[in-house]
Amino acid sequence: MPLRPFTRLAKAGVLGINGRNLDFIAAYNPRKYYPLVDDKVITKALAIEAGVTVPELFGVIRYGGEAHLIEEIAKKHRSLVVKPARGSGGGGIMVFNGVAKAGLRRMNGQITPWADVKYHLNNMLSGMFSMGDGSDRVLIEERLVPHSAFSKLAFGGVPDVRVIVFRGIPVMAMLRLPTAESDGKANLHQGGIGAGIDLVSGITTRGVQHNDSVELHPDFETPVRDFQVPGWPEILELSARLGHHVGLGYVGVDIVICENKGPTLLELNARPGIAIQTANLRGLKPLLMPVHNLPTVPDDVHQRIEICKANWLGEPLDRFVAPGALP
Ligand SMILES: Nc1ncnc2c1ncn2[C@@H]1O[C@H](COP(=O)(O)OP(=O)(O)O)[C@@H](O)[C@H]1O
Ligand SMILES: [Mg+2]
């Protein structure tokens, strides 16, 4: 399929918002599949169907009259996360690690009184933090505990790995690290750190916070580069498998590496951001174009991972094209 003429920025290989929207999202993501990833309750069911581990769902709140259920659920599970089903960018998410008489304990130790928790639930239900118009549902789910390898890299919350998967082939990834500023969330615009990842080895290459380079995590002073992400082969496989399963050609897969559960799917994103390029100091376009030019992609996930690695290393992908598939 033809692509729009290259702009100056695109010549440098950097994918802009318009290029992302027109050439990749509009071209590769059929609208009918959006609801599967735009609603986190539905995504969870889809992931379970694909055999992928997800955070356990403790409950769904659908309207204000159900807000009181949070007390019961919190007393039973003690550690939990509330999030809008159609939220994005970390908006509205609150992470709690304990229950007190007066309310719920945040990751920074502060207690949020019950009345404030319920007020916040009502705000989420009103759609204040959600994509699209109208009201939303609220998920109450298990708080994930990150792998111990992150103990000196993730402040007060869960780091995640964002993988951009194109036609079922991972093309770029970054590790997102929560900071004191980002309050238990790893999203970059909440103040999290993004670290580029070498796709072949799973080792971080460099870090950015608020678009500036960072060498050390501000809360621990530990280097953010040269960190081996645990479970890297499993992360590549999970993202390649799910990216293919969901029917979206261009998708962001967010994965948490848990101490006990292993790689766990947090969410899928049909419009993944482009800041991942800054974290990697590399443009997406030169990685997307060779995959775009493949006549077909293999059904076998391991073959797609071979393509992913060759593509990352800048090797030609002809050897992956079946002779019969050439024009
Ligand atoms: N179940 C969870 N346990 C711990 N932290 C979580 C959980 N869910 C979300 N978070 C934190 O919040 C961030 C955003 O969550 P996510 O589900 O991706 O929502 P959004 O669509 O708003 O980005 C994650 O990167 C993570 O740091
Ligand atoms: Mg997210």
DSSP symbol at 109: S
Indicate whether residue 193 lines ligand 1 (CB < 6 A).
no
Percentage of residues in the chain with pLDDT exceeding 90?
78
Phi and psi angles of residue 213, each rounded to the nearest 5 degrees, phi first:
-65, 140
Check if the beta carbon of residue 181 is closer than 8 Å to that of residue 191: yes
Give residue 135's pLDDT. Answer: 94
Check if the beta carbon of residue 70 is closer than 8 Å to that of residue 77: no
Amino acid 292 reads H
Check if the beta carbon of residue 165 is closer than 8 Å to that of residue 307: no
Residues, Cβ < 5 Å to ion ligand 2 = 254
Between 120 and 108, residue with greater pLDDT: 120
- Ligand 1 atom closest to Cα of residue 184: 27
Place 111 in a pLDDT band, splitting at 50, 70 and 90. very high
Mind listing the pLDDT tens digit for each residue in 52-100?
999 999 999 999 999 999 999 999 999 999 999 999 888 999 999 999 9
Is residue 5 over pLDDT 50? Answer: no
Q: Is the dihedral of CA 93, 173, 206, 18 positive or negative?
A: negative
What is the C-alpha to C-alpha distance for residues 181 and 55, in angstroms, rounded to an integer? 24
Mind listing the pLDDT tens digit for each residue in 125-167?
999 999 888 899 999 999 999 999 999 999 888 999 999 999 9
Give residue 185's pLDDT. Answer: 82
SS (H, E, C) 148-194: HHHCCCCCCCCCEEEEEEECCEEEEEEEEECCCCCCCCCCHHHCCEE
Give residue 226's pLDDT. Answer: 97
Is residue 121 over pLDDT 70? Answer: yes
The mean pLDDT of the chain is 92
pTM of the model: 0.90
Amino acid 232 reads W
Q: What is the mean pLDDT of residues 210-221?
A: 92
- Residue 29 CA to chain centroid, in angstroms? 17
- Ligand 1 atom closest to Cα of residue 178: 27
Give residue 22's pLDDT. Answer: 83
> How many angstroms does the Cα of residue 160 sit away from the middle of ligand 2?
8
Q: 51: buried, middle or exposed (CB in 10 Å: 19+, 13-18, 0-12)?
A: exposed
Q: Which residues contact 113 (CB under 8 A, 6 or more apart)?
A: 102, 103
Question: What residue's CA is closest to ligand 1, atom 19?
Answer: 90
Is residue 1 over pLDDT 70? Answer: no
What is the C-alpha to C-alpha distance for residues 303 and 322, in angstroms, rounded to an integer? 12
Mind listing the pLDDT tens digit for each residue in 22-37?
888 988 999 999 988 9
Check if the beta carbon of residue 215 is closer than 8 Å to that of residue 225: yes
Is residue 172 over pLDDT 90? Answer: yes
Place 327 in a pLDDT band, splitting at 50, 70 and 90. low
Taken as a whole, the chain contains a residue count of: 327
Give residue 271's pLDDT. Answer: 92
- Tokens 């970054």 found at: 174
Greatest pairwise CA separation for the chain in angstroms: 69
Indicate whether residue 95 lines ligand 1 (CB < 6 A).
yes
Helices within the chain (DSSP H only): 8-11, 17-19, 27-28, 34-38, 40-49, 69-77, 114-125, 232-245, 276-280, 285-292, 301-312
Q: Which residues contact 289 (CB under 8 A, 6 or more apart)?
A: none
Mind listing the pLDDT tens digit for each residue in 244-290?
888 899 999 999 999 999 999 999 999 998 999 999 999 999 999 99
What is the C-alpha to C-alpha distance for residues 201 and 266, in angstroms, rounded to an integer? 22
Between 7 and 144, residue with greater pLDDT: 144
Indicate whether residue 252 lines ligand 1 (CB < 6 A).
no
Give residue 178's pLDDT. Answer: 93
Give residue 229's pLDDT. Answer: 97
What is the C-alpha to C-alpha distance for residues 310 and 147, in angstroms, rounded to an integer? 29
Q: What is the mean pLDDT of residues 181-202?
A: 91
Indicate whether residue 55 lines ligand 1 (CB < 6 A).
yes
What CA dihedral angle connects 144, 269, 52 and 171, to 10 degrees? -110
Give residue 312's pLDDT. Answer: 98
Coil, strand or helix at 5: coil
What is the C-alpha to C-alpha distance for residues 148 and 65, in angstroms, rounded to an integer? 39
Give residue 201's pLDDT. Answer: 98
Indicate whether residue 276 lines ligand 1 (CB < 6 A).
no
